[in-house]
Structure 1
């Protein structure tokens, strides 16, 4: 049953959904609703609240380009501060009143006769909208490890995406499965009070020194009174990260740039050597893939944690889990009280797309992607899906900073809806030809990148889809992506 109709439905109330909402308001579209399954906004910054949570890019860069925040306490702000920033932006731009929390979207189907999207909810109701935007993020579906016996464990099991704030690790025997970016932040925190901490590592991670500094109250006042000073700092940090991505990853074919990539790995090894003097432990903590194949991270305490007598690195693998512990592949058993799953997110199977989307002529987006390669024109549009923008799509993500991705997507929305209004049209849809040409160009650009030419086979990176293609990332600079979003040929879309 159709209960309500809107100009637009946005699925997801994280930074992407809020950015899309702000852009709709700028374009004069105020009749929209944001649907989110959680009970508060913020997306991954609301769901995640494990000990040690912090942003892993400088907060001078990690913000909307149009809304600098002068109140960060340090260069790498905590999760609480990021969540507060999200709240503040939503309130400033009057987005919160559009959000409905605790609403699970099961799917959406294009009604070609009515030229509307029918959005089905878990409670059985259906909303109708002229435009559909899915802003479900790349990190929204937690991945549970498939380990024999894991459901038989009788102790406490905590996934980092559902952290129990009442949990006290003091004196406990804890096992952590996973050594990705989340674990790098969490493990040093657990080690402070745990009785015994065993870390199960399948794939080591590159960890660079973290040049974190506290931002003084005087500096905050300067940022607040003269926002241009903060924009200068952002330009510096943006350019540093852009250089890292473009020189060390995107243009990897250039021999000199490959040398710089090696230098980055050397920096990580120096960081490790300073903290860990045991040669065998360093060997086990050192990746055998190139830096950039999967997301690297920053820490000044991660490696040092493994030198503590009560912290143990288990890198030989897990055979199975029992009611009271973990049996290792060598036959030894580790008895534990609590099992912590830092196993990340299921990007490709559960997130592309996060809901079932059925377009024109019954085209199922998930099935189409899996049968015809993962693809999206400008990282947002697919043929046979009119009036639909998917903000977490193949070739959407830029470098290390999500807000750069959001910036070009907002520019694209402005150009696309501006043309829609100019023509007096009601629907837009990317053409098959434009989409194919874009996919071919992305494939060609990736041919020069680290993800194609580098040693990535053992990285187990979520950058790569199930077919082995690094199609999560957009292989270009932020400025190039913004320029394309502002100047793409309008003939690449059909308007009706």
Structure 2
């Protein structure tokens, strides 16, 4: 049996009602999708709470790598697969609609975060221009995401190249690829999508790849016969755009169908299930059908089809990708890159291929290590901690030894994937092992018993300090009619205890 502290001096009565929350200051890093949602939630649902939010964004505008879902209807998407420009425009419009700009400071980068155990607060060093300053907060949320710190590939001679050097995550929109000889390095999601686009204007496109990958030629969540009409390039028909704008119910039903279709596809990523077996067969059948049409295609086919299951690596909507290898201006160099020279690429078999531009679709630093020092309890440096051991966070959002620090960010099989920090058989750290709804339900009612709680100094040793002076917050503020406790039937009585008006 646990002992009870009978020291009356340790028990201080708080002359506050039950339910009165302490003032909290929250600092959020990043004005991408997660940071934007945080600002909307605070403005729409916590306006009456004693909560102060500050979002710091290092760039001059809001961003985010991907906008997975839209929570407010948008009738102006022109394509089934939205472009980056449309996604950014949607985010900007949404930010203005909900007044999020008041919470966001642009061109403000966080350089360091240190936890002060005595104050139970984070001290955040922020840089703006040539000025550094310190922000002190109760809660620090890192919404920077893992796909934000892009890197050049570690290829000998890359710094020597005299032509145009581009990275998929830092694309130069002004560069003209017309009649250019282009090398494309990487066969991940970005490379698969860039290849067919370059082929439309470049004189030649040579992809340098070293690993096979499953391609979903028809896209992910392919539209069916009951979906809105689209053309061969997946643009919505103009009449559909008009109907989206004028018929909100029609747009809503389309959004529902998109979500159901995507979530239903999750089962294909569960090992050895009928859904996965069917997905493998479907992808292989489609890949063979497209690539078997020409000799160049058949040569690519022998290299591209993997021996690992669908979903081991990120599945990409490869619209036009496979068809590229049957075109006269497209080439595939398989595991054949030795070094980069001032004028091009030297292959492993001794050929010097000259290029006007080299595009690196080689991804991001996926080690999950913070890009700046985050120092938690007992001086633990999170970057050093995750350098020595696998990156690990409880449900992907909280980290041991990092009080009041949250992040917003699993597939087996023998393949090299950023899901496993670029390893072939390492621990999966990038994605959750269940469906979206599974994750939401798991987090809806947290297992607080999995956390260690430390009382603030103001409460002393009194674990009942929160009970306050015997009144609820609603009573103290005279909010609501306490007569509502008198009901006429069981249903009203039952619903009464789910009503926040009575207690808060």
TM range (shorter): 0.7 to 0.9
The residue number in structure 2 matching 1:387 is 404
Name the SS for the 2:169 alignment partner: helix
Name the SS for the 2:418 alignment partner: coil
The residue number in structure 2 matching 1:244 is 265
**Per-residue displacement from partner, 1:224-253 (whole Å, max 9, x unpaired)?**
5554543433333223222322x221x314
Q: Which whole-Å CA distance do the structure 2 matches of 1:364 and 1:226 have between them?
A: 53
Matched, 1:139 2:95: no
Conserved 8 A contact 2:147-2:366: yes
Conserved 8 A contact 2:287-2:322: no
Q: Shift in Å at residue 201 of structure 1?
A: 1.1
Conserved 8 A contact 1:112-1:360: yes
Distance change (3 Å), C-alpha of 1:258 and 1:44: closer
Q: Which whole-Å CA distance do the structure 2 matches of 1:271 and 1:240 have between them?
A: 24
Name the SS for the 1:304 alignment partner: helix
- State the aligned residue count: 410
Conserved 8 A contact 1:155-1:338: yes
Conserved 8 A contact 2:179-2:201: yes
Matched, 1:185 2:193: yes
The residue number in structure 1 matching 2:291 is 273
Conserved 8 A contact 1:12-1:136: yes
The residue number in structure 2 matching 1:481 is 439
Conserved 8 A contact 1:105-1:355: yes
Q: Which whole-Å CA distance do the structure 2 matches of 1:150 and 1:491 have between them?
A: 51
**Per-residue displacement from partner, 1:262-315 (whole Å, max 9, x unpaired)?**
224324424533665542222123333322111111133112222222221111
The residue number in structure 1 matching 2:92 is 87
* Aligned residue among 427, 437, 443 for 1:469: 427
Q: Shift in Å at residue 149 of structure 1?
A: 1.1
Conserved 8 A contact 2:29-2:143: yes
Name the SS for the 1:68 alignment partner: coil
Distance change (3 Å), C-alpha of 1:133 and 1:259: same
Distance change (3 Å), C-alpha of 1:82 and 1:358: same
Name the SS for the 2:139 alignment partner: strand
Conserved 8 A contact 1:276-1:304: no
Matched, 1:169 2:177: yes
Conserved 8 A contact 1:275-1:303: no
Q: Shift in Å at residue 69 of structure 1?
A: 1.8
Distance change (3 Å), C-alpha of 1:207 and 1:271: farther
Q: Which whole-Å CA distance do the structure 1 matches of 2:281 and 2:96 have between them?
A: 44
Q: Shift in Å at residue 40 of structure 1?
A: 0.8
Q: Superposition pairs for residues 34-45 of structure 1, below 5 Å?
A: 34-44=55-65
- Structure showing greater radius of gyration is 2
Q: Shift in Å at residue 157 of structure 1?
A: 0.9
The residue number in structure 2 matching 1:287 is 306
**Per-residue displacement from partner, 1:392-421 (whole Å, max 9, x unpaired)?**
2xxxxxxxxxxxxxxxxxxxxxxxxxxxxx
Q: Which whole-Å CA distance do the structure 2 matches of 1:158 and 1:226 have between them?
A: 43
The residue number in structure 1 matching 2:209 is 201
Q: Which whole-Å CA distance do the structure 1 matches of 2:307 and 2:72 have between them?
A: 40
Q: Which whole-Å CA distance do the structure 2 matches of 1:134 and 1:271 have between them?
A: 45
The residue number in structure 2 matching 1:328 is 347
Q: Which whole-Å CA distance do the structure 2 matches of 1:277 and 1:334 have between them?
A: 22
The residue number in structure 1 matching 2:111 is 106
Distance change (3 Å), C-alpha of 1:384 and 1:227: farther
The residue number in structure 2 matching 1:364 is 381
* Aligned residue among 27, 32, 36 for 1:14: 32
Matched, 1:63 2:57: no
TM-score by length of 2: 0.75
Conserved 8 A contact 1:200-1:317: yes
Conserved 8 A contact 1:6-1:33: no
Conserved 8 A contact 1:275-1:304: no
Distance change (3 Å), C-alpha of 1:134 and 1:276: farther
Distance change (3 Å), C-alpha of 1:175 and 1:360: same
Conserved 8 A contact 1:136-1:354: no
Distance change (3 Å), C-alpha of 1:223 and 1:195: closer
- Structure 2 gap segments, 5+ residues each: 1-22, 223-232, 456-504
Distance change (3 Å), C-alpha of 1:389 and 1:316: closer
The residue number in structure 2 matching 1:74 is 79
* Aligned residue among 160, 163, 183 for 2:168: 160
Name the SS for the 1:20 alignment partner: helix
Q: Which whole-Å CA distance do the structure 2 matches of 1:346 and 1:143 have between them?
A: 6
Q: Which whole-Å CA distance do the structure 2 matches of 1:93 and 1:277 have between them?
A: 55
Q: Shift in Å at residue 90 of structure 1?
A: 0.9
Q: Shift in Å at residue 94 of structure 1?
A: 1.0
Q: Superposition pairs for residues 280-359 of structure 1, below 5 Å?
A: 280-348=299-367, 351-359=368-376
**Per-residue displacement from partner, 1:417-468 (whole Å, max 9, x unpaired)?**
xxxxxxxxxxxxxxxxxxxxxxxxxxxxx6xxxx33x3x2xx3210113570
